[in-house]
Amino acid sequence: MFSLLNCVPRRLNRLPLRCKPSSLYAATQMSHSKATWGYSKEDGPATWAKLLDIKVGKKQSPIDIVRASAVFDESLKSLKFSYPGFENAKLENNGHTVQFSPTGENTSEASCGPVTNKYKLAQFHFHWGENNDVGSEHTVDGKPYSGELHLVHYNTDLYSSAAEALTQKDGLMVFGIFLK
């Protein structure tokens, strides 16, 4: 049995930033698209709005986390994760990354923190580069990490599937974890 508890840092519930469930909407929608996209000047974030019917805004990927302007919000409740494990799952190369998706029974969820609804794990995937100097989708003070893990959840209180939630502003919640 596979368990995500081995992948999630113990202090994940102490993230110093207030985030919205829609923060990674554009990148997640792009990852489900058949469009050709990437991170270069020709197919990077500045071109994503042209590739799909998505809006461009400050709450979309990629995000540069600027430590000097980050604010810890003490009023937020701690995030709660319940990842009991999976009996069945699909691991695939989707053309952009390696993606793990639970199949069958899936009771893995995240709740609390900045949200009031429950979000079920839909999939997780990785971002990496051609060397250890680049690879993460997001940056901290302009500097990338070697890689990044995205845990993609969908809102089960409002939507019956990840596909239904994908196009909704409050449909997804994605946790990005930097990898070294």
Is the residue at 15 inside a domain?
A: no
- CA geometry: angle at 12 spanning 86 and 97, to 5°? 55
> What's the rounded Cα separation, in Å, for the pair 66 and 73?
16
Average pLDDT over residues 52-56: 58
Q: What is the pLDDT of residue 109?
A: 92
Task: Quote the number of domains for the chain.
Answer: 1
CATH of the domain at 91: 3.10.200.10
Q: How far from the centroid of its chain's Cα atoms is residue 103's Cα?
A: 19
Is the residue at 89 inside a domain?
A: yes
> What's the rounded Cα separation, in Å, for the pair 60 and 68?
20
Mean pLDDT check: name the lowest of 12-16, 52-56, 84-88, 153-157: 12-16
Is the residue at 91 inside a domain?
A: yes
The 10 Å CB-count burial string (b at 16+, else e) for 52-80 is eebeeeeebbbbeeeeeeeeeeeebeebe
pLDDT > 90 in the chain, percent: 42
Between 65 and 13, name the one with better pLDDT: 65
Is the residue at 7 inside a domain?
A: no
Q: Is the pLDDT of residue 2 over 50?
A: no
Is the model's pTM score more than 0.95? Answer: no
For residues 133 and 142, is the Cβ–Cβ distance under 8 A? no
> Any idea which residues carry the catalytic annotation?
96
* Per-residue model confidence as pLDDT tens digits over 79-122: 899 998 888 999 999 888 999 999 988 899 999 888 899 999 99
Is the residue at 6 inside a domain?
A: no
Domain containing 55 equals 47-179
Q: What is the pLDDT of residue 114?
A: 84
> What's the rounded Cα separation, in Å, for the pair 28 and 33?
9
